Amino acid sequence: MRHRKGKKRKGLVEKLLSPYWFQVFLFSITWSVFISLQLEKPELIPPLLAVLSVSLTLLRRGLGEFPFKDNPTYATLNGIFTLLIGIATFLKWRDPLCLGEYADAYYLIFVGSSVGILSKAFVRRGGIGNILLLSGITLLLASPNIFILVGFLLGNFVAADIYGHRRDTPSILKAALVGNGIFTAVATGYWIEVAPKGLWKLLYIYPLSVISVIFHIFGLQKLIDLLPFMYSDEKLEKLANLSNPLLEEMMIRAPGTYHHSVMVALLAETIARKLGADALLTRVGAMFHDIGKMVNPLYFIENANGKNYHEGLKPEVSASIIKSHVEEGIALARKYNLPEEIVSFIPEHQGTKLIGFFYHKALEENPNVDESKFRYGGPIPQSKETAIVMIADTVEAMVRALKNPTKEDIRKTVKKAIENLLEEEQLKDSHLSMEELKKIEELLTELLISYYHKRVKYPEKTPRERKV
């Protein structure tokens, strides 16, 4: 009985330390402090904290994970942005730069457009609207100035959009320049009214804000990357490096699967880039999509060296072994601390597809066989990136199975593979349009034809040439 209580207690502690409850606690404290400071009544902090804690807790019942996502990435970013707003509020109070009536500029200098850029740097597949909303509410409570709030929101939305298109260093510089420019322009509308004679201060406030934001974006990105569950582009790029221990192990234990993964990664990355999807995420996800095959590598044809290890096994057993590579892959990914964005490629690249070969074999033995035993557990692809990997994975395997394929064989195989996925409704949640699927079909056909083209047979050397 004691043992059971201990388990319950542990579960409660884990629940309270979850990202969701961390954010509820964080914003309850921060907002109650800022409200009491605005009212100049510090004694209101305890009752406000109690009211906000209960209100935000009840909010979950009605709105689920909005606005607090139960995700460590969102929790970390919200914590950092709240800290930045807190630092800017403290400096506004102390006013070390003697800005006077322009003291709200500390939010421009120490927060600026960094919220949008850093959010886009670490949140790859989800939206950042809730992060901007929570930061906006915090900023409004710290400084109830509608011009500062609107400037902050507009500047960060635009900065996030600019950085999101290319995700490189020049994009960070451009996003900071434009985002802080919009923030400054909107805030100037307020300063023109309250202190028009001090507008000359903007000549150093704006450049200082851009330099400050750029420096702390680079600095914070490096610090955030130290956390095992946070991945910027730079850290994600390193994941697919050949020196990664997980990929090294796959190369040794399942060389056929490794070669297949490299091929799928190359195909999927090219398609993602052409469609404007996240090419880096797609490539890295494709490299790890089949890591679960390392557990029983010989039961997968690419590692079997011509032998049939399923011989003598019941179709249900064979299907179970094939299906298990998804669960094994997820377990390995979590063991090696791969980001959730990468983990999602493992189940989603198979979706709920039917393991047709063993299903039809089972039907021969028993016409009433349970089809669900021969289907993957899903979910089906929830993004363009995982859908692209599903298509590339399916097509590459089907084309590789062809003997001396002609251009027409490859063209028909690619078309058939995509049609089969559509018939099985595997792509309905992927956000891929029919036009994009047509483009994927054309690209894959072109890429695979160039890869499987017939090599020129060079003439053998004559005896005289051999002598030379």
What is the mean pLDDT for each group of 10 consecutive residues in the chain (468 residues)?
41 65 92 93 92 85 76 93 97 94 96 96 86 96 96 97 90 96 96 93 95 95 90 87 87 94 95 92 95 94 90 92 96 90 95 93 90 93 96 94 90 95 94 95 94 60 57
- The answer to whether 27 and 53 have CB atoms below 8 angstroms apart is no
Q: What pLDDT shows up at residue 67?
A: 79
The 10 Å CB-count burial string (b at 16+, else e) for 378-392 is eebbbbbbbbbbbbb
Burial class (CB in 10 A: 0-12, 13-18, 19+), 160: buried
**Domain assignments of the chain as residue spans, ordered by start:** 2-224, 234-451
Task: Give residue 242's pLDDT.
Answer: 75
pLDDT of 126: 75
The confidence score (pLDDT) of residue 106 equals: 97
Q: Please name which of 395, 465, 378, 468 lies closest in space to residue 430, comparing C-alpha atoms.
A: 378
Residues contacting 433, CB < 8 A, separation 6+: none
| pLDDT score of 306 | 84
For residue 132, give every residue at least 6 positions away whose Cβ sits within 8 Å of its Cβ, in sequence order, or none: 115, 116, 119, 153, 156, 157
Q: pLDDT value at position 179?
A: 97
* Residue 460, pLDDT score: 60
For 198, which DSSP code?
A: G
CB 279 within 8 A of CB 268: no
293 neighbors 333 (Cβ within 8 angstroms): no
Confidence (pLDDT) at 239: 86
- Largest Cα span, the chain: 102
Is the Cα torsion angle 348, 372, 440, 401 positive or negative in sign? Answer: positive
CA–CA dist 298, 305 (Å, integer): 8
Q: What is the pLDDT of residue 1?
A: 36
Query: What are the backbone angles phi and psi of residue 375, rounded to the nearest 5°?
Result: -115, 145
Give the per-residue pLDDT at 8: 42
Instruction: Report the topology of domain 234-451.
Output: Hypothetical protein af1432 (1.10.3210)
Please tell me the number of Cα atoms within 13 Å of 348 on its side-chain side. Answer: 23
For residue 193, count other CB atoms closer than 10 A to its CB.
9
Token pair of 405 as six digits: 């394929």
Cβ burial, residue 439 (10 Å; 0-12/13-18/19+): middle
**pLDDT recorded at residue 275:** 93
Asked whether 358 and 318 are in contact (CB, 8 A), the reply is yes
Q: What is the pLDDT of residue 9?
A: 45
